[in-house]
Amino acid sequence: MDKMPLLDVRDLTVEFATRRGAVRAVDQIDLSVMRGEILGIVGESGSGKSVTSYAVMRILDRAGRIAEGSISFSGMALQTLPESQMRDLRGREMSMVFQNPRAALNPIRKIGRQIEDVLLRHAQATRTDARAKSIAMLDRVRIARPEERYDAYPFELSGGMCQRVVIALALACRPQLLIADEPTTGLDVTTQKAVMELMVELTRERRMAAILITHDLGLAAAYCDTVMVMEKGKVVESAPSADIFSAPTHPYTKRLLQATPKPGSVLRDLVMDPQPEPPPPARPIQPGRILDVRGLVKTYGANNAVDGIDLHVDRGESVGLVGESGCGKSTTSMMIMRLLDPSDGSIQFDGQEIGAVPARAFATHPMRKRIQMVFQDPTDSLNPRFTAERAIADPIQRMGGSIRRDALRARCEELATLVGLPVHLLDRFPHQMSGGQKARVGIARAIALNPDLVILDEPTAALDVSVQAVVLNLLQDLKISLGMSYLFVSHDLHVVRLLCDRVIVMRAGKIVEQGTAEQVLEAPTAAYTRELIAAVPHPPT
């Protein structure tokens, strides 16, 4: 076997032309991958990890160009190869798996035909045996009943199955290099485990080289041989994955590692500086229940999305609602939020029945300002045409009674300071802010009228881990100082454990287990909970 790396990148620099001159997205990086090896590139958004892979595939968009450096792929210098030859290489010798599997598949073409297309394009099959090869490929990625599924359209498959089809597409022509860009982001933990194991197995079996691009250090460490950490276009550390976890050398890696929630970590530990400031003064809480839900049902057609749920939240308590996609946790939160009408059951808020008020009329209900929500996607939940100030001011103007302009502005600035948003950013539009800043605007809007109950719908799912660490701490401080209760909806068990007193696990519209956070996570009684906990990627120890 040759000792030559399959892919060898030296001094790669990628620049993007913008209105204000060239911007370096990737700055003089080196990397190499051997056959049968998996390299993980880890970094937060804007670190240049995706751009690196686009440069290797030569699929940078028009504004970007490889300014310097060499990319050698099994002896060929890719940076100077003509586009026509690159087209032959892509798909046949090197292929890519993207983040959103549904977007990567043609929605109006049968999945089997899509695999055939790739095979025929690269002359790996003829008209006569394309179908058989396509079915064999579906079988390889463990899609059950591949003959039937050949005729399925992407919308008929789950997210995890779609990603398997995308992997089948990528591997159909037996490429030597596979680049996976956040292949499991947006998939459930159990699905993530299955997809990653499949990828690793196929890579080893075919002696391919693979690059896994991810923001999740835990995932990279669990499945890669070597991990490379990138920050602001530069490689800060590169080491075997076991070493990077046990002995990180670069301060950035240490910070990233610390911000990643793991078993046994405490909320305050996630942020680097050892918090000299004392915890905020707590607002006294009178005991009692703020929310009491009984027999809640939501029916869609013949299916019960939520099937008779009982739950309650005490004043000043954080309750985690955990489950995989489709378990009904979002539907439940939307009904409690009164954005959706329940089919049956009662929702009592502060002793008053609010489940019977139609969702359409609830906007003007006096209880409206006491139940608020922080949405999952900070970008989607902010009006693109509203400045941060207008977004925060909106609930105050609608429900806070009459308020003078300067008082309103002062209140917005006070809220911004409270959530740690620099006051000068209040004039910005959402697209001019970072993900963390947008999340803060969303939180400021939710707490603007001092609500009693805030539903947090995966508030950190779209954020980088270091930002997530800060936002989680912020939420915890706000809860104590404002005396709020939280219903925290999430799929991430580690995050739930950090913030919540009690945890409720849902599956298929029903509650399978509930108890205190330690109890559920340390000694789960339901088999499903155990499965969920086991699927979270564990780094090698």
Q: Which residues bind another protein (CB under 8 A)?
A: 18-19, 337, 339, 360, 362-364, 368-369, 372-373, 375-377, 380-386, 391, 394-395, 398-399, 406, 409-410, 413, 423-424, 426-427, 429, 431-432, 442, 445-446
Please identify, using beta-carbon distances, which residue of 97 and 456 lies nearer to another protein.
456
Please identify, using beta-carbon distances, which residue of 30 and 427 lies nearer to another protein.
427
Q: Quick one: angle between helices 527-535 and 189-205, nearest 10?
A: 50
516, containing H or E segment: strand 510-516
Least distance from another protein to the Cβ atom of residue 403, Å? 14
Going by the DSSP 8-state scheme, the letter that residue 1 receives in this structure is: -
Please identify, using beta-carbon distances, which residue of 160 and 430 lies nearer to another protein.
430
Please tell me the distance from the alpha carbon of residue 325 to that of residue 50, in angstroms, as a whole number. Answer: 26
Which regions of 215-325 does DSSP assign to beta strands (E)?
Answer: 226-231, 234-240, 289-300, 303-314, 318-322
Please identify, using beta-carbon distances, which residue of 95 and 376 lies nearer to another protein.
376
Sign of the dihedral defined by the CA atoms of residues 416, 456, 468, 476, in that order: positive
Least distance from another protein to the Cβ atom of residue 429, Å? 5
User: Residue for token digits 């075997």?
Assistant: 240
Least distance from another protein to the Cβ atom of residue 339, Å? 6
Please identify, using beta-carbon distances, which residue of 91 and 435 lies nearer to another protein.
435
Least distance from another protein to the Cβ atom of residue 319, Å? 19
Residue 409 CB neighbour total at 10 angstroms: 14
Going by the DSSP 8-state scheme, the letter that residue 69 receives in this structure is: E
Q: Which three-class secondary structure state does DSSP give residue 265?
A: coil
Alpha helices per DSSP H over 10-145: 49-57, 83-92, 101-104, 111-121, 130-140
Least distance from another protein to the Cβ atom of residue 325, Å? 17
Least distance from another protein to the Cβ atom of residue 431, Å? 5
Strands 7-18 and 21-33: antiparallel
| Amino acid at the residue 303 | N
SS (H, E, C) 172-229: CCCCCEEEEECCCCCCCHHHHHHHHHHHHHHHHHCCCEEEEEECCHHHHHHHCCEEEE
Please tell me the distance from the alpha carbon of residue 220 to that of residue 39, in angstroms, as a whole number. Answer: 8
Please identify, using beta-carbon distances, which residue of 315 and 369 lies nearer to another protein.
369
Going by the DSSP 8-state scheme, the letter that residue 401 receives in this structure is: -
CB 406 within 8 A of CB 432: no
Least distance from another protein to the Cβ atom of residue 262, Å? 30
Please identify, using beta-carbon distances, which residue of 172 and 337 lies nearer to another protein.
337
Please identify, using beta-carbon distances, which residue of 432 and 525 lies nearer to another protein.
432
Least distance from another protein to the Cβ atom of residue 229, Å? 29
Least distance from another protein to the Cβ atom of residue 63, Å? 13
Least distance from another protein to the Cβ atom of residue 508, Å? 23
Strands 226-231 and 209-214: unpaired
Output 83-86 pairs: Cβ under 8 A, ≥24 positions apart.
83/58, 86/58
Please identify, using beta-carbon distances, which residue of 284 and 401 lies nearer to another protein.
401
Please tell me the distance from the alpha carbon of residue 392 to that of residue 387, in angstroms, as a whole number. Answer: 9
Please identify, using beta-carbon distances, which residue of 272 and 399 lies nearer to another protein.
399
Please identify, using beta-carbon distances, which residue of 391 and 503 lies nearer to another protein.
391
Please identify, using beta-carbon distances, which residue of 427 and 518 lies nearer to another protein.
427
Least distance from another protein to the Cβ atom of residue 471, Å? 17
Q: Residue 235 has which token pair?
A: 């490689």
Least distance from another protein to the Cβ atom of residue 438, Å? 11
Please tell me the distance from the alpha carbon of residue 290 to that of residue 312, in angstroms, as a whole number. Answer: 8
- Burial class from Cβ neighbours inside 10 Å (0-12, 13-18, 19+) for residue 76 reads middle
